[in-house]
């Protein structure tokens, strides 16, 4: 073969390679852009909508507290079995971790929390809680239903998955630190990113909100026993009054925020528990108080912890009382601040805009609430957002943790398709050279 012939053949090979690559890229881009539309259409079919609502209602009727979600876990496994999705169980006592896709890297995770709250439901409706003193008043029943919905969408479209989606059904978010146990058991090894959502009863259905950087505060709990000397209320000089001491302690704790904290650095100390005495004319021997403290950085959180103990012990001593402080770190571990990865925020804006329209994706301000999703974000890039479930028929939205909490179930297909779209497109784009996450984006407020 002559030189000119070889040169012509080389040019032809290069041309074919360029055409092939262009065809692949065009196909991938087209495939990526159509994912959200197809998923939402699938999720809004009557058959799917009826199924996802029924799942949510079953869970709502049978609320279970942290690490006691045995029936909820059973329901999840039954639904995954019907879909043909493999899973691990138990993980972190009652947790379930499912797998959709190739079973090979890359891996991306979606998370839903399963636990309810220790409170009595006062809302009267057909699917009211059947377990006295327990209620899904924070929407975790909806979170589980939406993740199961995402699992169904992903399984039906698994040919699109260029990797594996890890489905994390997590126990004990409400103070139990279930996310920490999930991590400790190695359920997220090799996962490149994780997404989670939370219902927002003040946001209309069809809207979502999120932000880059600090989203939710870190939090801790404390309980203190202030001991004095009991006696007759008519002769207080013969007693050492722990109620008076506890009252001074509570006032002094507020000074930590009003006089020691930077006014531009949001912090909260709230005493929500005060137990002492049982009679009008008796000074008790002791009083127990308890509360929570919150901040947007771990450093400030630890400073507050130290000062809370110093103030409680010191102020009790001023009133001739003794005090012991317990931060309940085993029962209620400290939650770090929830900090969203900047790269994932940009990605979330694009995907959610494609699913529900850019005008329905809102930028939100940080909240002092806390979430154990933050434990995931300490080890891998993560993104947490809120989805609208506002009851349009209610005169005024009822907040989470209310005995009258209610959601609009029309939001469930939106959450399922958002979950599925975020995971699918993450995997598709992970095979490209464009990084989606900013590994060092853990700036604090």
- Helix, strand, coil % over all residues of the chain, rounded to 5: 40, 20, 35
pLDDT score at 435: 63
Residue pair 211/314 in contact by the 8 Å Cβ criterion: no
> Which secondary-structure segment (H or E) carries 95?
strand 95-101
Distance CA 382, CA 108 (A): 10
pLDDT score at 4: 56
Residue given tokens 């770090």 in the structure block: 336
The CATH topology of domain 218-326 is Alpha-Beta Plaits (3.30.70)
pLDDT score at 18: 44
**Backbone torsion region of residue 136, taken as left when φ is above 0, otherwise alpha when ψ lies between -120 and 50, otherwise beta:** beta
Query: pTM to 2 decimals?
Result: 0.87
At residue 132, φ and ψ (nearest 5 deg) are: -55, 135
Q: What is the 3-state secondary structure (H, E, C) of 166-231?
A: EEEEECCCCCCCHHHHHHHCCCCCCEEEEEEEEEECCCCCCCEEECCEEEECEEEEEEEEEECECE
Would you kindly state where each structural domain of the chain is located, as residue ranges? 31-216+337-430, 218-326
pLDDT score at 430: 87
> Domain 31-216+337-430 belongs to what architecture?
3-Layer(aba) Sandwich (3.40)
CA angle 285, 288, 290 (to 5 degrees): 170
pLDDT score at 1: 55
- 313's CB contacts (< 8 A; 6+ apart) are 323, 325
Query: For every one of its 445 residues, what pLDDT tens digit does the chain have, with 9 covering 90 and above?
Result: 554 555 555 455 444 444 444 433 434 444 555 677 799 999 999 999 999 999 999 999 999 999 999 999 999 999 999 999 999 999 999 999 999 999 999 999 999 999 999 999 999 999 999 999 999 999 999 999 999 999 999 999 999 999 999 999 999 999 899 999 999 999 999 999 999 999 999 999 999 999 999 999 999 999 999 999 999 999 999 999 999 999 999 999 999 999 999 999 999 999 999 999 999 999 999 999 999 999 999 999 999 999 999 999 999 999 999 999 999 988 888 999 999 999 999 999 999 999 999 999 999 999 999 999 999 999 999 999 999 999 988 888 899 999 999 999 999 999 999 999 999 999 999 876 556 766 444 444 4
pLDDT score at 331: 85
Binding site feature residues: 138, 140, 174, 198, 401
Binding site feature residues for Mn(2+): 138, 140, 174, 198, 401
């Amino acid at each position: 073969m002559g030189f000119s012939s070889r040169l012509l053949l080389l040019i032809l090979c290069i041309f074919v390679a360029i055409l092939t690559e262009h065809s692949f890229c065009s196909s991938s881009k087209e495939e990526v852009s159509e994912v959200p539309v197809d998923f939402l259409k699938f999720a809004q079919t009557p058959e799917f909508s009826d199924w996802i609502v029924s799942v949510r209602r079953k869970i709502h009727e049978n609320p279970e507290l942290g690490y006691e979600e045995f029936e909820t876990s059973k329901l999840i496994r039954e639904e995954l079995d019907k879909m043909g999705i493999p899973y691990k169980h138990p993980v972190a006592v009652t947790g379930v971790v499912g797998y959709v896709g190739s079973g090979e890297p890359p891996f991306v995770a979606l998370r839903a929390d399963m636990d309810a709250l220790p409170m009595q439901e006062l809302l009267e409706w057909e699917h009211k809680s059947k377990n006295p003193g327990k209620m899904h008043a924070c929407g975790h029943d909806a979170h589980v239903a939406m993740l199961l919905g995402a699992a169904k969408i992903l399984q039906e479209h698994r040919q699109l998955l260029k990797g594996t989606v890890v489905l994390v059904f997590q126990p004990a978010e409400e103070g139990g630190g279930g996310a920490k146990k999930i991590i400790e058991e190695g359920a997220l090894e090799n996962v490149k990113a994780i997404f989670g959502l939370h219902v927002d009863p003040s946001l209309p259905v069809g809207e979502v909100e999120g932000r880059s950087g600090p989203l939710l505060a870190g939090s801790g709990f404390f309980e203190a026993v202030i001991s004095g000397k009991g006696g007759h209320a008519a002769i207080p000089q013969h007693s050492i009054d722990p109620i008076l001491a506890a009252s001074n302690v509570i006032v002094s704790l507020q000074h930590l925020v009003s006089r020691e904290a930077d006014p531009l650095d949001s912090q909260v100390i709230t005493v929500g528990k005060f137990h002492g005495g049982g009679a009008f004319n008796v000074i008790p021997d002791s009083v127990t108080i308890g509360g929570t403290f919150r901040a947007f950085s771990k450093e400030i959180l630890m400073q507050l912890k130290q000062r809370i103990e110093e103030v409680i012990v010191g102020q009790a001593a001023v009133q001739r009382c003794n005090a012991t402080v317990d931060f309940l770190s085993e029962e209620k571990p400290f939650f770090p601040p929830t900090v969203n990865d900047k790269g994932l925020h940009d990605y979330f804006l694009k995907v959610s805009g494609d699913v529900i329209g850019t005008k329905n994706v809102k930028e939100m301000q940080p909240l002092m609430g806390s979430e154990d999703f933050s434990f995931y974000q300490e080890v891998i890039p993560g993104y947490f957002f809120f989805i609208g479930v506002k009851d349009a028929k209610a005169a005024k939205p009822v907040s989470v943790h209310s005995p009258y909490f209610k959601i609009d179930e029309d939001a469930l297909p939106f959450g399922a398709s958002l979950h599925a779209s975020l995971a699918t497109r993450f995997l598709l784009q992970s095979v490209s050279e464009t990084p989606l996450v900013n590994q060092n984006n853990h700036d604090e407020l």
